[in-house]
Amino acid sequence: MALTDKVVVITGAARGMGEQYVRAFLKEGSKVVALDVSWTGVEEFQQELSSYEEAITLSGDISSDSDIDTVYQSAIDRFGTVDVLINNASVRMRDVDPSTVISILDTNNDQWQRTFDVSLFGTIKVIRRFVQPMLETKSGSIINIFSSSGVQGRPGNQPYGAVKAALNNMTQSLAGELKDYNIAVNSLMPGGTRSTGYDE
């Protein structure tokens, strides 16, 4: 897929890998909808993006139906369609527990629920909304950011590992369901990455 003038929606776009996806697509001539739950602390990057006619920065919680509706309408009002969707937003282990390593027996229901609400259910909600222009044009690409944690369970790495495994399984099913619409659905598993919060 040639990327010039393609409209690319990226969740979790303000930091880490998301920021780099935004920069890479803009470099290729794409129009970018950069969505994050918060741009606090990265105002310089947000301001930089505001100087691009081809970019829009939006705030919203992907676990919220109303936030997704608002963001979708803003994207359509600005660019008219969606060609590519990068589902990068996710709850990190450091968001579950400051130590980033926690025994399953020490986790609580709220930690599991929030992780799945954002990283799986939120991703599904975003897909359902933003796939609509792709279905109409019978063209598009959906990429869900996966992790090796979803392939092999590791002690102290839940619920992150479980939600990534579920995301990958869902991705495989969706790929089969959308292939007749000429919409590619893939998991992208980055290697060792200096991602958001690495320095923390």
Catalytic positions: 160
Burial 20-57 (b: 16+ CB within 10 A, else e): ebbeebbeeebbbbbbbbebeebeebbeebeeeebbbb
Sequence-separated (6 or more) residues with CB below 8 Å from residue 162: 150, 153
d(CA 96, CA 124) in angstroms, rounded, equals 21
Q: What is the distance between the alpha carbons of residues 79 and 98, in angstroms, rounded to a whole number?
A: 39
* Cα–Cα separations (whole angstroms), residue 144 to 65, 120, 156: 19, 10, 23
The strand pairing partners of 55, in sequence order, are 32
